[in-house]
Amino acid sequence: MANTLKDRVALVTGSTDGIGLASARALAAEGCSVMLNGFGEADALAALCSELSAAYGVEVAHSPADLREEAAASGLVGEAVARFGRVDILVNNAGTQHKGLVEDHPPQRWREVMALNLDAAFHTIRTALPGMRARGWGRIVNVASVYGLAGGVERSSYVASKHGLVGLTKAVALETATTPITCNAVCPGDVSTRIFYRNAKLLAEREQITRAEAQQRIAAASMPSGRVVAPEQVGAFVAFLCSEAAGEIRGAALPMDGAWLAR
């Protein structure tokens, strides 16, 4: 099948690090112009844009929009359109979580988790979709979690927001089902982002074990595979969902979880 991603415009939220950056990189590698979003030092972000642009021969820009703010989330698609003329691919990836029992959960943190993990996706989708419909093509990928499909302790807002994101994915997929626009969710288990390596380092120091042993222990605690998922694996899957080959995958919540949900 033809490489339909060449010269597409992708907006990836929360893409200055972790899964979002890996997704942006995978889409840039397929020839997409990319609007990055997220936090970081101005110099480091400028260097990141230049690096991606040079590596893949595509245009790359960055927006610092804080997606907890409704106006910023609504405005982000407009920023991308102002820079690149359109948004063909929208990856809603920015997310946060709060650990603790539900009765101890600060209501303000609940609102922040919902605002970033769920409301922001609503705002980017509702602002990006009219352009996709007008041009007759689009891809929306929401980065949910295994916690979008199963419960978990001491993370009530995360579980609720990710279940909400999976629900939003299905609703949007049905509203676009007869069009060349698809909407799907990816549901990773534990992924080896920066926090995984930080936690492994702390465990290794505490237990006087090697970092490799600590990483293995953390992975085995939740992943039946005994391995965590690499951000690059999620990025490659996101890019696949944006391909023409994936054009009839619609409204799916797809685990990448080392068989976590198979138990």
Residues known to be catalytic: 158
User: Is 164 a binder of ligand NAD (CB under 6 A)?
Assistant: no
Closer to ligand NAD by CB, 4 or 143: give it: 143
Dist CA 246 CA 227 (whole Å): 26
Q: What sign results for the dihedral spanned by CA atoms 63, 67, 72, 75?
A: positive
Q: Provide the token pair at 169.
A: 């994915």
Measured between alpha carbons, how far is 31 from 24 in angstroms, rounded to an integer?
11
Q: Which ranges of 57-155 would DSSP assign to H, the alpha helix?
A: 70-84, 107-114, 120-135
Residue 29 or 72: which CB sits closer to ligand NAD?
72
Among 4, 16, 156, 169, binds ligand NAD (CB under 6 A): 16
Strands of the sheet containing 9-12, edge to edge, are 60-63, 33-37, 9-12, 89-92, 138-143, 181-188, 253-256
Which 128-147 positions form the footprint of ligand NAD (CB under 6 A)? 143, 145
* Tokens standing for residue 172: 């949007």
List phi, psi (to 5°) of 88: -95, -35
- What are the structure tokens assigned to 187, written together? 């549901």
Using CB under 6 A as the binding rule, whether residue 11 contacts ligand NAD is answered as no
Contact with ligand NAD (CB under 6 A): which of 20, 138, 251, 258? 20
Candidate ranges 89-97, 101-109, 130-138, 174-182; the one touching ligand NAD (CB under 6 A): 89-97
Judged by beta carbon, residue 72 or residue 81, the one nearer ligand NAD is 72
Out of 9, 80, 89, 95, the residue judged to bind ligand NAD by CB under 6 A: 95
In the complex, least distance from residue 13 CB atom to ligand NAD, rounded to whole angstroms: 6
In this chain, which of 131, 138, 164, 188 binds ligand NAD, going by CB under 6 A?
188
Which one of 8, 25, 62, 68 is in contact with ligand NAD (CB under 6 A)?
68
Could you tell me which residues are beta bridge partners of residue 191? 229
Instruction: Name the residues that contact ligand NAD, by CB under 6 A.
Output: 14-20, 37-39, 66-68, 93-96, 116, 143, 145, 188, 190-191, 193-194
